[in-house]
């Protein structure tokens, strides 16, 4: 579960997953000061604590609804966290969308430098949008070039169809 700039559903998700004997993975999709997104997953209890710190630091440095999390803050609190390169609003995918392969390489290299090659993955998403196949292919090529793995994710906003109305309202 990766709420946006928060951990709103973490406790309910954790309990529901444990009740069903599923290992829960808690994380957050964070907005950086530059406006790009990055997805962080807690690998350890220390990582969860660092994720909480990063969310708080970002919120305190910005205004309500506009966190100002920096790469330096990420670097200071990276221990115990796994990093995914982010959705279409991530620096890597944004650069690929703009046909800037070198910019994507630089952005991904920065994140790999912070989290390490074992804790950083290129995030691949395919929602049936026109550029998704190209982005997936370029993301795979970028991961090979950087020596990091890939992870397939999706932009899920609710667990059941009944949650669609609430999501639309929010």
pLDDT interval class at 167 (50, 70, 90): low
In the prediction, which pLDDT does 169 show?
Answer: 74
In the prediction, which pLDDT does 67 show?
Answer: 86
CB burial string 127-153: b at 16+ within 10 A, e below: eeeeeeeebbebbeebbeebebebbeb
Residue 157 scores a pLDDT above 70: no
In the prediction, which pLDDT does 170 show?
Answer: 65
Residue 163 scores a pLDDT above 80: no
In the prediction, which pLDDT does 38 show?
Answer: 97
Residue 158 scores a pLDDT above 80: no
- 45-99 tens-digit pLDDT: 999 999 999 999 999 988 877 888 999 999 999 999 999 999 999 999 999 999 9
Mean pLDDT of the chain: 92
Select from 84, 85, 7, 9 the least CA-distant residue to 49: 7
- 96-116 tens-digit pLDDT: 999 999 999 999 999 999 999
Separation of alpha carbons 73 and 79, rounded Å:
12
């Amino acid at each position: 579960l990766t709420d946006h700039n928060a951990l709103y559903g973490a406790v309910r998700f954790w309990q529901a997953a444990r009740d069903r004997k599923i290992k829960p993975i808690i994380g957050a999709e964070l907005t950086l000061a530059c406006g790009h997104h990055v997805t962080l997953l807690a690998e350890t209890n220390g990582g969860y604590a660092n994720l909480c710190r990063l969310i708080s630091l970002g919120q305190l440095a910005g205004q309500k609804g506009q966190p100002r999390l920096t790469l330096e803050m990420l670097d200071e609190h990276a221990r115990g966290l796994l990093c995914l390169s982010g959705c279409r609003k991530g620096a890597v995918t944004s650069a690929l969308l703009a046909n800037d392969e070198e910019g994507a390489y630089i952005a991904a290299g920065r994140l790999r430098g912070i989290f390490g090659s074992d804790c950083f993955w290129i995030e691949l998403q395919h929602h049936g949008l026109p550029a998704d196949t190209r982005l997936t292919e370029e993301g795979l090529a970028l991961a090979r070039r950087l020596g990091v793995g890939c992870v397939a994710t999706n932009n899920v906003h609710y667990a059941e169809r009944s949650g669609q109305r609430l999501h639309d309202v929010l």
